Structures are given as structure tokens and as C-alpha cells.
Amino acid sequence: MPVPLTPRRIPKRDDAAGRAYGELRDALLSGALRPGERIDLGAVAHWLDMSRTPVDHAITRLCTDGLVTVEPYRGTFVRPGDPERFEATAQVLDIVHDAVLATVGAALAPAERERLLELTAAAASAAADEAPERHDRWLLFMADLAGRVGNDVLACEEARLRMLVQHARVGAPPEVLTEHARRRVESLRARGAGWLGGARLDEDGAPLLY
């Protein structure tokens, strides 16, 4: 998608670079800026109604995040999604999420645990056209839990890894997303009926996930 020509009338904030970073990051993760697309930085500055300097600072951060690449004499490009990179990053994100559940899981109300199970299972069984949206719902629930830990470093790392996972999945087959959630379903099952609280169980004592 080309950068819009009409400037966005976003309320001014002191941190213009942060505003540019947030807007570009959202466009990248939503797929509005497509993998491999060249980003016209002048058009971005016009769109966000700011000078080029904060946009350049935002691009530097996005390069560090791994969302864009800068090629000398060619320009700035959206980094393509990468299923292999998705798997590698998702594995690390899963470790962080395990730490989150180990810290706050015992304090979750039964309804919250059941909601976690439902969201994870829904992501694992999503149809192809629903996979990204259901994957996001599940990840955002986990992000909320990460915020409850009370550790800013962990919360920031969870957010960074989640962003990389969301970007790396762009262009990946839907089954890559459902398989990721399926692994987490099995991880939740392994916690046992006691941890699952009010979740319904099957005849073998395993949680019914649907």
C-alpha cells in the first residue's frame, strides 16, 4: 500500500520520533505496508505532518527491531516475513510466556484461565482467513498477563518479541500460526486440571478446548 498523501492530523506530542515509530510499526504489523515494499520517507513525513528528522529516527529503531532494511543507494524497504524466523522468535516468546504464567498463573481467576484456554484453542483451530486475527487475540491476552507481572524489563521484552512474531508471520502459511497455538494448547494441558480451575474436563480429566 503506498503511503497516504493526505496528512494525518494526529495530536502533537513532544516525542515526534516516538509518534512516527508507532504509526509506522502499526502499518508494518497490520500489513498496510507490504513485505518488500519501498517506503517513501518523504511521503511518510508528509503523511504524519512532521519533518524528516523524526521519521529517520523512527526508521533507525525499526531497523533495530528487524522490521525494515535500509539499502544504500536504493532506499528503505519493508522486511519480508520469514516462517523460519517466525518459528525461532515464537520459541523465545513462548519461554517468556511460560515465565509469565509461572508468576501470575496461580492468581488468575477461573474465568480468566478458561478465557486463556478458549483464546489459545481458537487460535489453534482457526480457518485460514481467521488465523492472523485469532493469533493476535491470543497474543494480546498474554501481553495483558505480562503487564501484571510487575517487571518492566519482562514486559518490554515480551512486547518486542511479540512484535517480531507478528511481523515474521506476514506471508507465512496460516498453518504456521495454528501450529504455534497448538503447541501452547499442549503446554496448557500439561499444567493439569488443578491449574485449569473452572475449565470443563473430558473423561480422561483433560480440559475440553474448543
* pLDDT single digits (tens) 127-148: 888 998 899 999 999 999 999 9
| Mean pLDDT on 8-36 | 77
- Cell 516475513 identifies what position? 81
| Domain membership flag for residue 205 | no
The domain of 73 spans 16-78
Q: Which residue has the higher pLDDT, 163 or 12?
A: 163
| Residue 19 pLDDT > 80 | yes
What is the CATH number for 54? 1.10.10.10
Residue 44, H or E segment: helix 41-47
Most confident range (mean pLDDT) of 72-76, 171-175, 190-194 is 72-76
Predicted TM-score (pTM) of this structure:
0.69
CA distance 197 to 24: 41
pLDDT at 124: 93
CB within 8 A of 182, min separation 6: which ones?
A: 124
Phi-psi region of 82 (alpha: psi -120 to 50; beta: other; left: phi over 0): beta
Considering the chain, what percentage of its residues have pLDDT values greater than 70?
Answer: 84
Nearest Cα neighbor of 114 from 125, 103, 105, 127 is: 105
Which is more confidently placed, 29 or 62? 62
Give per-residue pLDDT as tens, 95-118.
999 999 999 988 888 889 889 999
pLDDT tens digits, 71-98: 998 999 998 777 778 899 999 999 999 9
Closest by Cα among 142, 137, 133, 124 to 185: 124
Q: Clarify whether residues 29 and 119 are in a common domain.
A: no
Kindly report the average pLDDT of the chain as a whole number: 84
What does the pLDDT average to over 162-171?
Answer: 83
- The answer to whether position 94 is within a domain reads yes
Q: Which helix (H) or strand (E) holds 40?
A: none
pLDDT given for residue 2 in this prediction:
58
User: What is the pLDDT, as a whole number, of residue 42?
Assistant: 92
Residue 172 pLDDT > 80: no
Q: How many domains does the chain have?
A: 2
Residues 6+ apart with CB under 8 A from 46: 5, 7
What is the amino acid identity at position 175?
E
Task: Indicate whether 139 and 171 sit together in one domain.
Answer: yes
172: left (phi over 0), alpha (psi -120 to 50) or beta: beta
Statement to judge: residues 54 and 139 lie in one domain: no
Residue 73: inside a domain, yes or no? yes
Phi, psi angles (nearest 5°) of residue 60: -60, -45
Q: Are residues 158 and 180 in the same domain?
A: yes
What is the reported pLDDT for 204?
A: 46
* Burial class of residue 183 in the structure, from the number of CB atoms within 10 Å of its CB (0-12 exposed, 13-18 middle, 19+ buried): middle
User: Cβ contacts of residue 171 below 8 Å, gap of 6+?
Assistant: 35, 80, 81
